[in-house]
A and B are shown apart, each in its own frame.
Chain A
Amino acid sequence: MAEVHVIGQIMGATGFSESSLFCKWGVHTGAAWKLLSGVREGQTQVDTPQVGDMAYWSHPIDLHFATKGLQGWPRLHLQVWSQDGFGRCQLAGYGFCHVPSSPGSHQLHCPTWRPLGPWREQLARAFVGGGPQLLHGDAVYSGADRYRLRTVASGLVHLELGLLLRHFDRYGVQC
């Protein structure tokens, strides 16, 4: 069986209108993939940047997969939330990106979006907070039923992921 190691960090985020941000992340794979070691999902710390406008999480990701097939290559899905001074959390954006498929070190910049409601909800969000959220988190990384959504662009999440492949050349796979 071929093995894939994903070793890296969720560095941080830029371009969001709020400043105290954290990220809930998870990795989704197809049926042929098995997670041998590592945690598949997690939540980062809440960072309030003092220098510049990038919120830094430096959250380590270390996953070890064994796979029998190429379908269902791992996808990393992210939800960025902001936390205000009272401890309330508000959704800032959803995003996903595929784990790179070539070995080596990669810098990824994942764009995010958030659902947009009618003008009344947008006004309420500006004053009171809150706002629409997805009912099922898998709409972030799957294409089904996206046509019903109305969204607006949000900031960027920066990741540095390194990929280590094992035994892929035994099966004739070129990455």
Chain B
Amino acid sequence: MAAAGPSVFLLMVNGQVESAQFPEYDDLYCKYCFVYGQDWAPTALPLASVSRADGGAGAEEGPRTVTRTEERRQHGDKARPWGWRQALAFPGLEEGISQITSKSQDVRRALVWNFPIDVTFKSTNPYGWPQIVLSVYGPDVFGNDVVRGYGAVHVPFSPGRHKRTVPMFVPESTSKLQKFTSWFMGRRPEYTDPKVVAQGEGREVTRVRSQGFVTLLFNVVTKDMRKLGYDTGPPDTQGASGPSPQQGLPP
């Protein structure tokens, strides 16, 4: 490595999409993906058979990845320095579709996915810090698959364990007639690209209705941020933040 010091820092995020609270809807599944700026790139390339929960669509696409055994054959068995080269060999879960979950029969009425997230990013600039974008879908009265909520939150940047509760909202039709026809036909208003939820521009004309929450758990590890001069503040272990779903007020 050059003696001048690192120019790139790493952000490793793992965790899960834990559960959801949607008082009026049941039988839900969620999709997540990451949105990040131009200076960011995921370092871990997904292995084709592992990345998608549905198993089908991801099998053909995606560049060929180097497995651990191949790397050991190329470079010998001597100990490699821990760092981003190692990350290339490990599969990442940077987008996915979860299972369909129903509410539990007990008093909690919980919707649990327990869906893993595992991704590593490298970047030269914190601008464009990655956000996770969630979309939740479920069946309506007629059996069509409709969207039940979109939401987004920034990945936390202080190392440690973080719990985030993300409010979920759906776009709303403007007139009562449109609301009725979309309910009847099963074609609700949706975003053509859910990544719109992660940006600020172009949202000032959208009317939405917030109707649920999704709870996420993150474990964050960073590398070389301090060497590049960044101060991310005190590590916040077991930090819980986000609105409390019952009262709608932060704890």
Contacts and interface: CB of A to CB of B under 8 A. Distances in A.
A82 to B, nearest CB: 12
B229 A45 contact: no
B91 interface: no
Contacts of B250: 11, 107, 109, 158
Contacts of A50: 24, 209-211
A131 interface: no
A38 to B, nearest CB: 7
Contacts of B153: 9, 58
Contacts of B201: 39, 42
Interface string B164-201: 00110100101000000000000000000000011111
A11 B131 CA distance: 14
B158 interface: yes
Nearest to A169: B231
A51 interface: yes
Contacts of A175: 231
B249 to A, nearest CB: 6
A44 B203 contact: yes
A14 B249 contact: yes
Contact of B157 (A56, A109, A164): A164
B199 A58 contact: no
Nearest to A37: B127
A55 B207 CA distance: 12
A53 interface: yes
A97 interface: no
Interface stretch (A59-67, A71-79, A117-125, A139-147): A59-67
B151 interface: yes
Nearest to A36: B127
Given A7-B157, A58-B197, A168 B231 contact: yes
Interface stretch (B65-73, B103-111, B137-145, B235-243): B235-243
A105 B233 contact: yes
A80 to B, nearest CB: 14
B126 A64 contact: yes
Contacts of B154: 7-9, 60, 162
A20 B24 CA distance: 20
A163 B152 contact: no
B208 A47 contact: yes
Contacts of A39: 200-201
12 contacts: A7-B129, A51-B23, A51-B211, A58-B153, A59-B200, A104-B158, A105-B236, A105-B239, A162-B158, A164-B157, A164-B230, A165-B230
Q: Can you list the 6 inter-chain pairs with the closest CB atoms, starting with the nearest?
A: A104-B233, A52-B248, A54-B248, A103-B233, A43-B204, A56-B167
Given A55-B210, A162-B154, 16 more contacts: A20-B207, A22-B204, A36-B127, A44-B200, A44-B203, A45-B206, A45-B207, A47-B208, A47-B209, A49-B210, A51-B210, A59-B203, A62-B128, A62-B129, A107-B250, A164-B230
